[in-house]
Amino acid sequence: VWGIKLGRSFTSFDAAISYYNGYYLSAYPETMEPVPDASGMSLDLGLGYPKKSVFGFEFQGDFPGIDGATLRGDLAYIVPQSWQVQGEDMLKDPYIKAVIGADYTTSFDLYLNVGFIWGFAFEEGDQCSPYISLNARKELEDSKLTPNYLGIISLQDGSMINSIGASYNFTDDFSITFSYVSILGDQTSKLGQMGSAEGLYLMGEWSF
């Protein structure tokens, strides 16, 4: 496993190119064999980690025409190891994953971030599909409470994740965040398959 990254700063933006040679972090089925046991037959599933080469490009800079807005993006061209299971291609052709977004803070301290995503975290190869994300956070004047919202919608099937919450800063070093995550879409949809993640969350953060 190895990689290299080269970056440069220009007048109004920063850019970098990178190369990574390594393995997928998630295991893929490698072999499937029926095995007799006491109850009849079971399936012996062997897993493996395919290799991949990733050519990356990232940038960050001023958004043209909007003073104070920032445009940023990460693009990856991925060349996977050919991976088959029982004659079916799991990985074969090169593919692209990308995130391009813009953020802006209004005069009344409302932070907004809008992004376009091609290929969610769990998608690889020809499974990659488009999404739109929106993140909003409001700094309340003379308050330690910060309400926030995060929404992601699949442009392929309309499934959606919504997270509504608030953070409270007890001190400069310690804060807690309480949020509720709801997921819209059936279990076969892009984001609906994450239905088990729906619920209430409480998270603490301590910086030291």
For the stretch 77-94, pLDDT in tens is: 999 999 998 888 999 999
Q: Count the neighbouring beta carbons within 10 Å of the beta carbon of residue 102.
A: 16
Instruction: Establish if 137 belongs to a structural domain.
Output: yes
Q: Degrees (nearest 5) of the Cα angle 43, 49, 52?
A: 145
In a domain? residue 187 = yes
Residues 39 and 96 in one domain: yes
Res 184: pLDDT? 97
pLDDT at 51: 97
Residue 204 belongs to some domain of the structure? yes
Model confidence pLDDT, tens digit, residues 107-131: 999 999 999 999 999 999 999 999 9
Average pLDDT of the residues of the chain: 94
Residue 153 lies in a domain: yes
For residue 174, what are the contacts with CB-CB under 8 A and spacing of at least 6? 204, 205, 206, 207
Residue that finishes a domain, picked among 100, 119, 143: 100
Percent of the chain at pLDDT > 70 equals 100
Q: Is the pLDDT of residue 43 over 90?
A: no
Give phi and psi for 193, each to the nearest 5.
-65, -10
158-176 residue pLDDT tens: 999 999 999 999 998 999 9
Q: Which domain holds residue 161?
A: 129-208
pTM of the model: 0.89
Residue 83 and residue 145 in one domain: no
Scanning the structure block, which residue is given the tokens 């089925």?
Answer: 29
Does one domain contain both 5 and 82?
Answer: yes
Q: Is the per-residue pLDDT at 192 higher than 90?
A: yes
Over range 10-24, report the average pLDDT: 96
Tell me which residue of 16, 99, 110 sits closest to 68, measured CA to CA: 110
* Domain match, 83 and 169 both: no
Q: Average pLDDT for residues 143-168, to the nearest whole number?
A: 97
pLDDT in tens, 56-72: 999 999 998 889 999 99
Which two structure tokens, joined as six digits, stand for 190? Answer: 């892009």
**Residue 115 counted as domain residue:** no
Query: Is 28 within the bounds of a domain?
Result: yes
HSE value, Cβ hemisphere, 13 Å, CA-based, for 32:
8
pLDDT band at 42 (very low <50, low <70, confident <90, very high): confident
pLDDT tens column, 31-41? 888 888 877 77
User: Does residue 138 sit in the same domain as residue 95?
Assistant: no
Give the total number of structural domains in the chain: 2
Pairing of the two strands 40-48 and 88-91: unpaired
Do the domain assignments include residue 201?
A: yes
- For β-strands 174-184 and 70-80, DSSP reports them as unpaired
Q: Is residue 87 located within the same domain as residue 146?
A: no
> Which pLDDT score is estimated for 136?
98
Domain presence at residue 108: no
